[in-house]
Amino acid sequence: MSTLIKKSLKKENPIWLMRQAGRYLPEYQKVRKKQKDFIKFCLNIKAATKVTLQPIKRYDFDAAIIFSDILIIPYGIGQEVKFEESIGPILGKPNLKLYQQTKKGKFIKKIENVYKIIKNTRKKLSKDKSLIGFVGSPWTILVYVLNQKSPKEISVCKKIIKNKKSKQLLKIIEKFIYIHIEQQIKAGVDTIQLFDSWAGLLNKKDLNYFCFQPTKRIIIKVRKKYPHIPIICFPKGIKTSIKKFCKIVKPNVLSIDSKMNPNFVLKEIDPNIIIQGGMSPGFLFKRKSEMQNKIKFYLNKFKNRAYIFNLGHGVPKETKTNTIQNLVNTVRNFK
């Protein structure tokens, strides 16, 4: 069992943050300036290991999350993936035949540096720290593959569902997500997080097919072969459908976004599921006392069940480093 999970079960309020290794850190910026291509940055063994460990050195978080990107999967399959400043990811035209014909070995070889980075990080990370690997969930990857960029409007969802390639691509993406998870586990991660960043675009009637079932199938496969690996699920934006998600998917840990009502979670979510996150990143820009009160609000709400402190989304690039230090201190000093 990972130390992150052990600490949460002991009610020790472990802490890590989504995007904890990122643009708000001056030491990250120094490394980033030398890495012009973001995907190549994610595959640079020395640079990616270094930035994965930076927030651990600075803040002593309970877990490191490997520096990578959810779009490493379409990249590994062969779809063009590039990142443009102030725009975000831009993907090449999707090719169903390419997805159908890409072999497991070719996929692994193209992104094998991710697994070398994990091995390298695990060697340098102290044994009392967890190492989190991650993937995008099938629906979220499908959105990027077909939309070729971040979706700006909900109508994108309807187009993707109506697309004749969608269901075939979803199954293929699911297969490669499992392969990527397995290789990360073999390389040394002790926890996996599935990010379904665009689950909130789906209507209730489409959630089961595109979100719940693919995620459930992946988790069943992982548990069968690696029962000791806990899985964190982050189905962002699905509101009260999160109750059904947990009943069907049965994650070890449920990461909640900032719009999720903690009282609903306490009442409706299986108490055996560990809760993670919740606080809006917006509180990082409030007065210190206001932020501290919100941190304590979440710690008090979940004091009687296993809880991992995190945000309801990633750390924004404008965040000040001393703000994160104040956040960490508040969590650590909470009684």
pLDDT at 186 > cutoff 80 = yes
Whether residue 68 is contained in a domain is answered as yes
- Domain of residue 183, CATH code: 3.20.20.210
Q: How far apart are CA 159 and CA 256, in angstroms?
A: 27
pLDDT at 165 (0 to 100): 94
Identity of the amino acid at 128: D
pLDDT digits (tens, 9 = 90+) for 77-106: 999 999 998 789 999 999 999 999 999 999
Whether residue 217 is contained in a domain is answered as no
pLDDT at 86 (0 to 100): 79
pLDDT digits (tens, 9 = 90+) for 239-294: 999 999 999 999 999 999 999 999 999 999 999 999 999 999 999 999 999 999 99
Rg (CA), the chain: 19
pLDDT at 85 (0 to 100): 82
Number of Cβ within 10 Å of residue 178's Cβ equals: 18
Which residue range(s) make up the domain with 162? 3-190+271-333
Whether residue 243 is contained in a domain is answered as no
The answer to whether 121 touches 64, Cβ cutoff 8 Å, is yes
Q: How far apart are CA 18 and CA 73, in angstroms?
A: 19
Phi, psi (deg, nearest 5) at residue 146: -90, -35
For residue 232, give Cα distances in angstroms to 36, 60, 185, 219, 318.
31, 21, 14, 10, 27
Average pLDDT on 105-118 reads 98
The model scores a pTM over 0.95: yes
Whether residue 309 is contained in a domain is answered as yes
Indicate the range of 47-56, 151-160, 168-177 predicted with least confidence. Answer: 151-160
Whether residue 171 is contained in a domain is answered as yes
Whether residue 145 is contained in a domain is answered as yes
pLDDT at 113 > cutoff 90 = yes
Mean per-residue pLDDT of the chain: 97
Q: How far apart are CA 145 and CA 170, in angstroms?
A: 10
Average pLDDT on 223-237 reads 98
Whether residue 240 is contained in a domain is answered as no
pLDDT digits (tens, 9 = 90+) for 133-170: 999 999 999 999 999 999 977 788 999 999 999 999 99
List helix spans (H) across the chain.
3-9, 26-33, 38-42, 45-59, 72-77, 96-101, 104-110, 112-124, 138-147, 155-162, 166-187, 204-207, 213-225, 242-249, 262-268, 288-301, 321-333
Residue 335: pLDDT band (50, 70, 90) is confident
Whether residue 231 is contained in a domain is answered as no
Can you give the three-state secondary structure of 11-42, one letter per residue?
CCCCECCCCCCCCCCHHHHHHHHCCCCHHHHH
Q: What percent of the chain has pLDDT over 90?
A: 96
Q: Give the single-character DSSP code of 157.
A: H
pLDDT at 183 > cutoff 80 = yes
pLDDT at 321 > cutoff 80 = yes
Number of domains within the chain: 1
Query: If you search the block for the tokens 């012009």, which residue do you land on?
Result: 36
Q: How far apart are CA 166 and CA 209, in angstroms?
A: 11
Environment class of residue 115 by beta-carbon count within 10 Å: exposed (0-12), middle (13-18) or buried (19+)?
buried
